[in-house]
Structure 1
Amino acid sequence: MKVATELHFGRAAEQLGISQPPLSQQIRLLEQELGVQLFERSSRKVRLTVAGRLFLDEAQATLAQADHAIRITRRAAGGEIGELTIGLAASALFVPLVSHAISAFRSSHPDVHLVFTELSMPAQRERVAAGSLDIGFVRSGNIPFLPSTVMAEHLVTDRMFVAMNKKHRLAAEDGPIAVSALAGEPLIHYPYEREGFMDDLHRLFSNAGIRPALALESTEMSTLLGLVAAGLGISVLPGSLLRLEVDTLCYREIGDDDALSSMWLLRRGALTNPAACAFMDLLGLT
């Protein structure tokens, strides 16, 4: 490369820190190996042949590609590029710790492709264990039941609130409300399996000695709140969802001591995706 760019064996040898004869010998050996003449030599100057010029162009492109491959590999190892798959409970993005971490990760790792999927706890547990999901956010009052290959990291604990239309009889008062006051009220709920938040809900009502009057279910949080706002029933929600403000809705905290629900992060015991490790750093879970 140096001889091709300098077109002078002496200067090229000097820049390479070797004497001229070994350099000339290396060029001759290369020409013999290729079976072509790369340089036209005379007592006055050195010129590239047509084959030499093409060889130089291809060699420079190959070296540039090799440098690019090295940079890409190092960035991938540092979690700067690649893909990060994240499972979400319905309320996960309304937890400030989670939303702030996602925003910070997008700013610091703009070349990582983020894939979000809303999934129930059983589905997240299965996919994290199988490796098709890097991390998952699930809601449960207690530590989730998990296989030995999956770990749960506690993030935050929320109080539970009851959402109702502002004209509902229970909206006339302020302050905490006992879950026993919800007996017989038609309950609009998210249709997750009886695990995670639904398990928290049944436990809460059972401890109060009543059964929830499950009335309607909705797969969309906006629809659920719309049904409550329309007066078709009440809903019990984690406090993080109070950020979803609707003019005709009223929220009251449930005062029972066990009216709690936590957000957990699920991950495999040994993370292999550097991007997932970088995301965990932002959550302070390293």
Structure 2
Amino acid sequence: MELRHLRYFVKVASELHFGRAAEALGISQPPLSQQIRLLETELGVQLFERSSRKVRLTTAGRLFLEEAKATLAQADHAVRVTRRAATGEVGELSIGLSASTLYVEMVADAISTFHHQHPDVHLIFKELSIDAQRDAVENGGLDLGFVRSRAKPILPESVTSTCLITDRMYVAMRKGHRLSACAGPVDVAELAGEPMVHYPYDREGFLDDLRKLFGSIGHRPRLVQETHEMSTLLGLVSAGFGISILPGSLRRLEVDTLHYRELSGETALSSMWLLHRSEGASATALRFIDLLRPADQIATRAA
């Protein structure tokens, strides 16, 4: 049994006239009659009562009509869904995140716009390290990734990176800290020996950038506490447990007892990179990428 047999049957059942049904289907009447008889033979039931004057459905035919309509509707739905999936309008989009990704205005706006424009696409977010995102994008476990690193991430040929924005680094400290009296940029040398609360940043990414920053003055950052929750990190800094160095985008997390100061120097920078497959990216992923507009400017304290 093929879908065309069901379409033939439904048309005859709606017209209750083989001639009119054949004309509507764009075929001649004899082949239509033959196809209906073959359908009845396959089902082992009579679907129509035929006479020289009229055609009407049997009881079995009336029941079969409802099922045939439902089957055709489901088949049409499957075709529509498949076509929409091929153009990126439905399905899933898996996105890897770093701790500060959602606080980058460009990324947050793209997610909001995409969700509004494509409500039938299920967005899946996973906070992962650079290593994990790189591997997942390469093997298809992620469609897109967002990672933090001043330098361009080291990637296999199958994965492409695009720099979306470059932030200044900022120092978060408790109000009343010795460095909180000023609002201008602070030199990293003034932070030497300061206890620091830090997020478990990727060694290849932000944490490595942090170590290089202090290495430029012949010091190592004094990391006294690591926390996996950004809210806990800011809470500890707010409680005076230590300072923290963060990408500028995280200043959106405002706490009344915190004070932020920009870090001075050419190396006090942090970039957000978009990762995606070099070839074979899904139509859904490409639709999302189109919403991102890389900026060639450094986000300063005025941003």
What is the TM-score of this pair, normalised by structure 1?
0.93
Matched with 1:104 is 113
Contact 2:106–2:293 (CA under 8 A) maintained in structure 1: no
Match of 1:52 in 2: 61
Distance 1:249 1:30, change over 3 A: closer
* 8 Å Cα contact 1:271/1:277 also seen in 2: no
Q: How many residues were matched structurally?
A: 285
- Paired position in structure 2 for 1:234: 243
- Cα RMSD after superposing both structures: 1.8
The 3 A distance-change label for structure 1 pair 223 and 56 is: same
* Aligned match of 1:131: 140
- Contact 2:18 2:32 (8 Å CA) reproduced: yes
In the TM superposition, residue 281 of structure 1 has moved relative to its aligned partner by: 1.4
Structure 1 window deviating more from structure 2 (198-207 vs 10-19): it is 10-19
Match of 1:266?
Answer: 275
Match of 2:75 among 41, 45, 66: 66
Higher alpha-carbon deviation: 198-207 or 125-134:
125-134
Distance in 2 (CA, whole Å) between partners of 1:190 and 1:16 is 67
| Paired letter, 2:224 | A
C-alpha distance in 2, partners of 1:135/1:21? Answer: 56
- Asked if 1:10 is matched to 2:19, the reply is yes
Match of 1:93 in 2: 102
* Distance apart, 1:274 and its partner CA: 2.3
Give identity over the alignment, percent.
Answer: 68
Note if contact 1:125-1:150 (Cα within 8 Å) is conserved in structure 2. Answer: yes
Matches within 5 A, 1:1-286: 1-284=10-293
Output the amino acid matched with 2:199. Answer: Y
Q: Relative to structure 1, is the Cα distance of residues 193 and 54 closer, same or farther in structure 2, using a 3 angstrom cutoff?
A: same
Q: Please, which runs of 5 or more residues in structure 2 have no aligned partner? A: 1-9, 295-303
Deviates more, 1:22-31 or 1:268-277: 22-31
Shift in CA distance, 83/43, structure 1 to aligned 2, threshold 3 Å: same
Give 1:151 deviation, angstroms. 1.5
Distance 1:214 1:20, change over 3 A: closer
In 2, the alpha carbon distance for the partners of 1:28 and 1:251 equals 82
Q: Aligned partner of 1:213: which letter?
A: R
Whole-angstrom CA distance in 2 between matches of 1:21 and 1:174: 89
Instruction: Name the SS of the counterpart of 1:83 in structure 2.
Output: strand
Measured at CA, do residues 22 and 85 of structure 1 come closer, stay the same or move farther in structure 2, by a change above 3 Å?
closer
